[in-house]
Amino acid sequence: MKLRISLRTRIAATVAVAVLGSTVVVTFAAYELERSGTESRFIAAARTGAVADLQQATNAVKRQPEIPAVQAVSDFVGQRGGIAWTAIDLSDTSRNIDAGASMSDVPASVSVSFGGGISDGWTRVDGARKLAIGGRLDQNDVALVEFYDFTPVEQQLARLRSDLIRLDIAGLVVALLLGLAVSGRISRPVRETAAAARRLGGGALDTRVPVHGRDELGELALSFNDMADRLSHALRALRAAQEQQRRFVSDVSHELRTPLAAMLAAAEGLNSADGQRRDRAGELVGEQSRRMNALVEDLLEISRFDAGQARLELEQVDLGALAADAARTVAPDQDVSVSVLGDPRVQADARRLHTVVRNLIGNAVQHGVPPVQVTIDGRAQWVQVIVADCGPGLHPALVPTVFDRFVRADTARASDAGSTGLGLAIARENAALHQGTLEVAPGAPTTFVLTLHRVPPGAAVATPREPD
């Protein structure tokens, strides 16, 4: 089973190991520097003392020429006391050694050269480390070797070593506490973010994490909140789309049910012996068939918009001529006038714009009050198509939803014979496809405004089409 170690523990351990490692390196370096310096100072002091003793021993030998030099040296050094020493007669091949009282166990030879000058070397006497320093007396075959005990210095260094070890242990404790504090500061926002992610995954779309500072943890919180915003917007949009799809299916089924029921009822009349009834049934079947055909065409167009498959076939279009043709098509016997201000030409899909203008004029004629005025305003960098009737205007409650699918001016669906309730929705989709807008102006009379670019952004300039 794999051991699970928390982030806080890993961070605390990392900080503790880093601090402990650096502390051990520093204390080891400090100890080595102190040990080396202490030893160097000890040797320097010992050499200074040994040089002075050699000089004085040489003087003592000169003052007493009547006795052997070794004896003179021994007498001089013996009077000083407090130091281990040995005097060596270099002229004697047996290397007789005259040692001080405290040097009874000094070995017969030591690692000191007597070729000239002062020499030194380390040796051990009774297990204690001692520095042997010696030299040959001037103009004499006698050497004096003094032994300086290094034990007090070693004890001092041992105490220093113990103090440094205790300091390292204290540093480890401080490092652990520091690591816990640092890891707590780092892991707390991470835990908060993880908990927020779980809540967000559970459906709490308003979940956000607090932002503390502008460091990496603050960037993490900002990134999480940004992701949560985009995710919540996407989920809300998805739910709205699902709800719209559900309503769309419900509306389609309702719209299809009405003409189907009428056609079924009319089909029974086709078998009637009454000629007038058969004629009326035939007219009803034809009327409902045309209504179903218009509904199916509108539904197919809506599906193309939803699937992103609607495409523009751009050409140069004269909106004045297009509006006049749309008025003749949808309201040949109605009081509809078309006026043009400025340049009415745009690069657009003539078929789709004809559908938009035809729908706006048809709505104005069917739901408004004549006369209907269509104005093409091309005096600015934009071109606007303004369709207005002389009626009292839309009901305020209808304005926010007038471009929704299956919305009619009359809430009773069956009252708008021949209308699918998709015309304005398709008109707005066509306007958006041209990267333009279609809006309804507030107040009376009812006024729809279609605003178009001269050339849709990113589109190539189309070649003017010859008039039919």
Domain ranges of the chain: 7-159, 216-303, 311-453
**pLDDT for 258 beyond 90:** no
Six-digit token string for 270? 């086709």
CATH tag, 311-453: 3.30.565.10
**pLDDT for 317 beyond 90:** yes
* pLDDT above 90: percentage of residues in the chain: 18
Per-residue confidence (pLDDT) for residue 437, from 0 to 100: 93
Per-residue confidence (pLDDT) for residue 107, from 0 to 100: 46
Average pLDDT over residues 118-134: 81
Q: How far apart are CA 446 and CA 360, in angstroms?
A: 11
Per-residue confidence (pLDDT) for residue 416, from 0 to 100: 47
Per-residue confidence (pLDDT) for residue 4, from 0 to 100: 62
Average pLDDT over residues 213-239: 80
How long is the chain? 468
pLDDT category at 338 given cuts 50, 70, 90 is: very high
Q: Which of 157-161, 185-189, 404-408 has the highest mean pLDDT?
A: 157-161
Going through 280-335 in order, the beta strands assigned E by DSSP cover 315-318
| Peptide bond between residue 65 and the one before it cis (omega within 30 degrees of 0) | no
Average pLDDT over residues 209-219: 75
Note the pLDDT tens digit of each residue in 35-44. Answer: 899 999 999 9
**pLDDT for 333 beyond 70:** yes
The answer to whether the predicted template modeling score (pTM) of the entire model surpasses 0.85 is: no
Domain 7-159 in CATH 3.40.640.10? The answer is no
What residues contact residue 358 under an 8 Å CB cut-off, 6+ apart?
Answer: 326, 329, 330
Same CATH topology for 7-159 and 216-303: the answer is no
Tokens 């209504």 sit on residue: 291
Going through 105-254 in order, the beta strands assigned E by DSSP cover 118-125, 128-136, 142-149
Backbone φ and ψ of 444, nearest 5° = -110, 150
Q: What angle do CA 308, 313, 316 make, to 5 degrees?
A: 140
Q: How far apart are CA 446 and CA 396, in angstroms?
A: 11
Backbone φ and ψ of 287, nearest 5° = -60, -45
**pLDDT for 448 beyond 80:** yes
Run of H or E including 400: none
pLDDT category at 87 given cuts 50, 70, 90 is: confident
Average pLDDT over residues 3-23: 75
**pLDDT for 16 beyond 50:** yes
pLDDT category at 231 given cuts 50, 70, 90 is: confident
Q: How far apart are CA 366 and CA 372, in angstroms?
A: 11
The pLDDT mean for the chain works out to 79
b/e burial code for range 407-434 (CB count within 10 A of at least 16 → b): bbbeeeeeeeeebbbbbbbbbbbbbebb
Say what angle helices 69-80 and 7-63 make with each other, to 10 degrees.
130
Q: How far apart are CA 266 and CA 279, in angstroms?
A: 10
Q: How far apart are CA 292 and CA 280, in angstroms?
A: 18
Q: How far apart are CA 314 and CA 352, in angstroms?
A: 10
| DSSP annotation of 380 | S
Calculate the alpha carbon distances from 192 to 189, 200, 223 in Å: 5, 12, 14
Per-residue confidence (pLDDT) for residue 246, from 0 to 100: 74
Domain 216-303 in CATH 1.10.287.130? The answer is yes
Per-residue confidence (pLDDT) for residue 106, from 0 to 100: 42
- CB neighbour class for 345 (10 Å; exposed up to 12, middle 13-18, buried from 19): middle
